[in-house]
Amino acid sequence: DASIRLSMRMVEYTQLQRLLIVRDISRLIRLEQVRRDFVANVSHELRTPLTVIHGYLSAIDADDHPELAELLGEMSRQSERMQRIVEDLLTLSRLESQQTSTQERVPVAALLQTLIREAEALSAGRHHIELHDNTQLDLLGSPKELHSAFSNLVSNAVRYTPAGGTIALRFDGDRQRGACFSVSDTGPGIAAEHIPRITERFYRVSNSRSRETGGTGLGLAIVKHALALHSAQLDIRSELGKGTQFSCVFDPQHVAERQPSATT
Ligand code: ADP
């Protein structure tokens, strides 16, 4: 009798434990939702005043106020930086609120050309920029989110690589195994201990270079979330003093043969 009572107690106890765990998890999910909404709302509210401030600052002709030129320039740079942070926070909130991406055809040849143009504009002739488009494949997903992910990797490579370095964009893969877009650079590299945390929001190895070159500290968090929507992995290989390679690895479900019109 005593042993039956004991085992019934134990069953009740396990059920209670399960109930507590379920309640705990749903509380965490609710808190995470509140955090996400808060960030999205604050970013949205900051957008308009920042646009107004930046607009007025740009309208002031520094030639009329030579004594204020330096001050106006700095205010303008800082308001642009705040605008970039707000836009990145909004992008991140949008990505976090989505479960999956759309499954549109993303013409890779055109996307790579756009990325090369962006890299050249940002580099302004300071780097060697290479393109190796080794497949006849397109991607399936959201063109906007994939562009945003790839473009963040390209802009990091240009921003962190000193003048004279090389930046290479590659697209490899096949229909059976999937595809891989990678950006490699000959920049400073990232120490192994930083790599596991590098995609966290606002995590930076060196603050100064990031700020100097217009970084918001949100780029790799955006990359990670945009790739997760496509069930893609971000692979990071780096060697200090040699350079870094970021690869986005897509499974075969997100890959399609390139259409003839897209290759011409
Ligand atoms: P940021 O706006 O600071 O560049 P990111 O999220 O894009 O923010 O990157 C996080 C940090 O990772 C950067 O501050 C930098 O320290 C490091 N990092 C990113 N890309 C590279 C790269 N190609 N080479 C060296 N370090 C990099």
Determine the distance separating the centroid of ligand 1 and the alpha carbon of 239, expressed in angstroms. Answer: 14
Reported ipTM: the value is 0.98
Residue 205: CB within 6 Å of ligand 1? yes
Query: Which pairing describes strands 233-239 and 243-250: parallel, antiparallel, or unpaired?
Result: antiparallel
Whether residue 139 has its Cβ less than 6 Å from ligand 1: no
In the predicted model, is pLDDT for residue 197 greater than 70?
yes
Nearest Cα residue to 248 out of 225, 216, 264: 225
10-47 pLDDT, tens digit per residue, is 888 888 888 787 778 888 888 888 998 999 999 999 99
pLDDT of residue 263: 47
pLDDT at 65: 82
244 CA distance to ligand 1 middle (Å): 10
Rounded to 10 degrees, what is the CA torsion of 99, 101, 103, 105?
Answer: -170
156 lines ligand 1 (CB under 6 A): yes
Name which residue sits closest to atom 11 of ligand 1, judged by CA: 204
38-72 confidence digits (pLDDT tens): 999 999 999 999 999 999 988 888 788 888 888 88
- Cβ neighbours of residue 171 closer than 8 Å, sequence gap 6 or more: 108, 112, 132, 133, 134, 135, 137, 179, 180, 181
- What is the structure's pLDDT at 11? 82
**Distance, CA of 98 to chain centre:** 15
Q: Identify which of 193, 197, 195, 167 has the alpha carbon closest to the alpha carbon of residue 182.
A: 167
213 lines ligand 1 (CB under 6 A): no
Tell me if 141 CB under 6 Å of ligand 1.
no
Higher pLDDT, 91 or 263: 91
Rounded distance, CA 262 to CA 54, Å? Answer: 40
Q: Which atom of ligand 1 is nearest to the CA of 220?
A: 6
Structure pTM?
0.87
Atom of ligand 1 nearest to the CA of 214: 2
Confidence (pLDDT) at 5: 83
Cβ pair 224, 153 in contact under 8 A: no
